Structures are given as structure tokens and as C-alpha cells.
A and B are shown apart, each in its own frame.
Chain A
Amino acid sequence: MKKHLSAKTKWLIVIAVLLAGFVTVNSATKTGGWGTRAVQSVLTPFRSATSALVRQVERYYNYVFKYESLQAENEALKAQINSMEEGVRSADSLQRENERLHQLLGLAAEHEDYHFASAYIIAWVDSSWKSAFTIGKGTNSGIHEGLVAVTEYGQVVGLVTEAGSNWATITTVLDSALDISATVASTGYNGVVEGALATGSEGLLRMNYLPTDSVLRNNDQVLTTGSTVYPRGLIIGYVTDANFDQTGVAKYALLKPAADMDNLEQVFIITDFNNS
């Protein structure tokens, strides 16, 4: 087969290898990544248009084919609201107590310091090994690397890991690359949450370094502990399972992410918060 390779083909093979090396070095250096920025900026309008088209088609499909199921879901939700209203009435007394405690401790009202930028998702990363997506806003809208993305309910979605003028890449909490310092709301156990993709539990999160004697219950809420990156008290997920890690010393818990990643359309980036 070697004799069938023309000189030009051999040169192209050399160029491909050199380009791969150049791209690796370029993306690894701090000043690099200009190629990515240029291509992403060019692609963003196409991705936004395609994404908007897909949303329209999805809405039409849902209207045509899911009307009956939506009606049934509506009825079920009405019943759920009734039962929740009952819960709210009993929670009112607890809330009043809570407010008093807040005043007692002199705490400021929660989250008043947050500043948000909203953005629509225009593309998801096309690899099964990574969980990240691109939004149609970037540095022009005040979005830069290291900002947290949440849902409208304050559930953590991920972290801005790359940003261009009109786009930004958000790595979700499902990706094993992110580590979030977290605490179990009901008991106060601290640990570190990361995506469980690497451990073979796709779609779940793993809370590591829990104390050996920690007692966890299903649906225990896990919140951010608070750091310079993640504001305190954001909901990360709910405990679904717990076990000992390979060392047998520390415990880990598997969490269901609070944010519904499969149906995300829009996210809110916390552009500023008071971390004191």
C-alpha cells in the first residue's frame, strides 16, 4: 500500500500530525485558544438559529402529540398544589420563626446581592465523555470564566469554563472535571461533589469525603458550602444512595442533580455576588 501513497498525500499526513501538535500547544497555553474563539464566534449565529428552530419544532411537536398527557399532568399538578398549599400553611409558622432567627442573627435577606445574566443554550458538547454546553452570550454581556450558572430555582447547573465575545461554554456539574465544596443541609456533613461520569454512574453526582459515621437519608438536600466561585446555599442535588469508598474509610453519596439537565433551555449566570 505504501507505493500507492503519493508524495502529496505523505505531505498531508505530516501536516495533519503537525497541526494536531500545534492545536494541542495552542489550546494549552494561556494566550492560546484564539482559533477556538474565532470558530465559536462564527458558529454562534448558526447555532442560535438552529437551536431556535429546534425549540419551535419541539413546541409544535409537544402541542400536537403531548396535549393529552399535558392535560393529565396539569390535573396532577393541581392536586399537588392543593397538598402543597396545606404544607405552606404549616410552614408559615416555621417561616415566622425562621424570620425571627434571621433578625436575631442579624443576617441579611438571602441572595439580594446576586446579579444575573440570562442566556439560552445553543449547543451541547457532542461527546459522551463530557457534559458541557454553549450559550449564546459571552464577554459582551459580562459573562466570563469562573462564573456559576443556575436555573431559575437557584439549582446549580455548572461553571463557565470558556468565554468569547458572543458565546460561553458551561461545564455542567455532571462532568467529572468540576469539584464543588458542599454540605448536606439537614445534618451539616461536608464533602466535595463531582460528576459521577468517571465512575460509571452517568447522570448522577458523587459527594466524596463524607465522615465514616455519617448518616444520610434519601432525598437529603445538598447545598454549596460557599466559596469565591460558588455562592453559599445553592441547591446541588438530592441524596439517592450512600456507600463506603474503595479505601473503606470515607463514605460517599450518590446525588440526583437538582437541575433537570435533560430539559434545560435557559440558564442564569450569577455575574456578581457578595461572598463575604
Chain B
Amino acid sequence: MLKHVHLTKSQWLGILKWSLYGLLTLAVLLLQSVVLSQLPVFGVKLAPLPVLIVCVCIWEGSEKGGIYAILATLFWCLSGSDFGNISVAVIPIGAMLSAVLCRAVLTLRFLPAALCCLGVTLVNASAIFVFKLILPPTVAIDSFWRILLPGVFLSMLFMPIHYALVKLISRIGVHDAL
């Protein structure tokens, strides 16, 4: 059946690129939920997946990257993340705005991307925290700086490796298109 499907070389490379993004997302999700969730650092669990989603969106632009961000966050939410329904809105919107900001206002470099990742993960964690403060069982307010801030900043340690991998994958098919 596949021999009847006629795809150009750039289309095949596009499929390869997005498959690699998918595999990377799955690997990071497994790392987050199976390994890192059992190894809290200074009492907090690290979440490298939002950082990866923002990285991909920044490199792929707000349109293709936005679709990826929505699908990846939805998959993460449905895999059993805590208050994932908030992340389904906050992370893709934050990632798309970051992509526009990095491409139109700032530059597509590591530091602006890192600042955008930090901003989106902080806003996402804070939005969840606000709901945790309101809805029972409520959390103590001092856990904002005891748990939330260390968690966000420590999760940013994954940013360099995510950035490097995403930059590498995003190059697939670029020369062919030129």
C-alpha cells in the first residue's frame, strides 16, 4: 500500500524530524514519570517536559511548534499529570508566545530561549499553585518558595541538553529545502 504513497524527499525528512521529536518527548516523559519522580532533588520533583515543549516550539515556530505543543501537553496531561488541564492551556500559549517573541523581538539564541522556558514553566507552575491554594486539600503558601521555585529552577538544568537536541533535530531537512 505504501508504494502508492508518493512523498517528496523533504516530506520524508519532515516525517523523520517530527518522529524524532515524538520519540524525544516520549523519552523525556518516561524519564520524568519513572526515574525523576522517584529521585526528588532537595525534596522537589523535577519536570523537564515543559522545558522541552517550549524549546521545540521556539525552534519550529508558533504554528507547527504550536500544534506540537498542544498535542504533547495533552498527551502529558492524559498520562496522569497533576492539574494537567491547566497546563494544556498555559504551556502551548506560553510556548507560542515565546516562539513569536524569540523570532520577532529577541534572537533565536540560547539565552532568550532559556528565559522564555523559565518564564513559561514558572507561569505554569504558579497557575497550578494558585489552584492548589484555593481547592482542597490546600497547600501551605510557604511551599511557593520551598517547593515551587526550586522545582522550576532545577528543571531548567535540562534546558542546555534539550536545546542542543532540538537544535540538532530542527536542522533535518533545512538544507534540502534551501
Establish whether residues B66 and A198, one from each chain, have CB atoms under 8 Å apart when the complex forms.
no
From known contacts A13-B93, A24-B85, infer whether A123 and B33 are also in contact, taking CB-CB under 8 Å.
Answer: yes
The answer to whether A1 touches B63, judged by C-beta atoms less than 8 angstroms apart, is no
Q: A172 contacts the other chain (Cβ, under 8 Å)?
A: no
With contacts A4-B100, A51-B34 taken as known, whether A200 is within 8 angstroms of B92 at the C-beta atoms is no
Whether the Cβ atoms of B137 and A177 lie closer than 8 Å is: yes
Cβ proximity bits A199-224 to B, threshold 8 Å, 1 near / 0 not: 11010000000000000000000000
A38 adjacent to chain B (CB < 8 Å): yes
In the complex, whether A12 has a CB less than 8 A from a CB of chain B is yes
Interface string of B97-123 (1 = CB under 8 A from A): 100110111000000000000000000
In the complex, the answer to whether B139 meets A197 with C-beta atoms within 8 Å is yes
Proximity bits, B25-68, A CB within 8 Å = 1, else 0: 01001101111111010011101010000000000001100110
Q: Which residues of B contact A123 (CB under 8 A)?
A: 33-34, 37, 80
Smallest Cβ distance from A2 to chain B, in angstroms?
9
Instruction: Tell me which of B35, B100, B129, B137 has the highest count of chain A C-beta atoms within 10 A of its own C-beta.
Output: B137
A176 within 8 A of B: yes
- Please state if B104 and A36 are interface contacts (CB–CB under 8 Å): no
B89 at the interface (CB under 8 A from A): yes
In the bound assembly, the distance between CA atoms of A175 and B132 in angstroms comes to 13
C-alpha spacing A132/B38, complex, angstroms: 11
Tell me which residues across on chain A come within 8 A of B20, comparing CB atoms.
Answer: none
Q: Taking the complex as formed, is A6 at the interface, i.e. its CB lies under 8 A from any CB of chain B?
A: yes
A46 adjacent to chain B (CB < 8 Å): yes
Nearest chain A CB to B61 CB, angstrom units: 9
Number of A-B contacts (CB under 8 A): 151
Contact in complex: A19, B74 (CB < 8 Å): yes
Q: Is A188 positioned at the interface, with any CB of B under 8 Å from its CB?
A: no
Interface size on B, residues (CB 8 A): 58
Return chain B residues, CB-CB under 8 Å to A15.
70
Q: Of all chain A residues, which has the CB nearest B105? A: A1
Q: Which residues of B contact A134 (CB under 8 A)?
A: 33, 80
With A12-B92, A126-B45, A200-B140 as contacts: A23 and B85 at CB distance below 8 Å = yes
Residue of B nearest to A178 (CB): B137
Chain A residues closer than 8 Å to B93, beta-carbon distance:
13, 16-17
| Chain A residues whose C-beta falls within 8 Å of the C-beta of B75 in the assembled complex | 39
Q: Which residues of B contact A19 (CB under 8 A)?
A: 70, 74, 88-89
Scan residues 101-143 of chain A and give those whose CB is less than 8 A from a CB of chain B.
122-130, 132, 134
- At the interface, yes or no: B172 with Cβ under 8 Å from chain A? no
State whether A124 and B38 are in contact (beta carbons under 8 Å apart), knowing that A4-B100, A50-B30, A177-B137 are contacts in the complex: yes
* A126-B47, A129-B132, A169-B80 known; A198+B140 contact, CB < 8 A: yes
**In the complex, are the beta carbons of B85 and A200 less than 8 A apart?**
no
Q: How far is the CA of A197 from the CA of B124 in the complex (A)?
A: 20
A46 close to B30 (CB less than 8 A): yes
Report the bound CA distance from A129 to B89 in whole Å.
Answer: 20
Cα A129 to Cα B134 with chains together (Å)? 14
Are A16 and B88 CB-contacts (below 8 A) given A8-B63, A125-B80, A126-B33?
yes
Question: Judging by beta carbons under 8 Å apart, are B96 and A126 in contact?
Answer: no
Interchain CA distance A19-B104 in the complex, whole Å: 27
- List the 9 closest pairs (A to B, CB-CB), nearest first: A176-B137, A127-B82, A124-B37, A20-B89, A39-B78, A4-B104, A12-B66, A200-B140, A20-B88
Q: A13-B96, A23-B74, A126-B32 are in contact. List 12 more A-B contacts (CB 8 A).
A: A6-B63, A9-B62, A23-B85, A36-B79, A38-B78, A40-B78, A54-B35, A124-B37, A126-B47, A127-B45, A129-B82, A129-B132
Report 12 cross-chain contacts, Cβ distance below 8 Å, ordered by A residue: A12-B62, A16-B66, A16-B69, A19-B74, A36-B79, A40-B79, A54-B34, A54-B38, A124-B38, A128-B44, A134-B80, A175-B137
* Chain A residues within CB distance 8 Å of chain B: 1, 4-6, 8-9, 12-13, 15-17, 19-20, 23-24, 27, 35-36, 38-40, 43, 46-47, 50-51, 54, 122-130, 132, 134, 162, 169, 175-177, 194-195, 197-200, 202
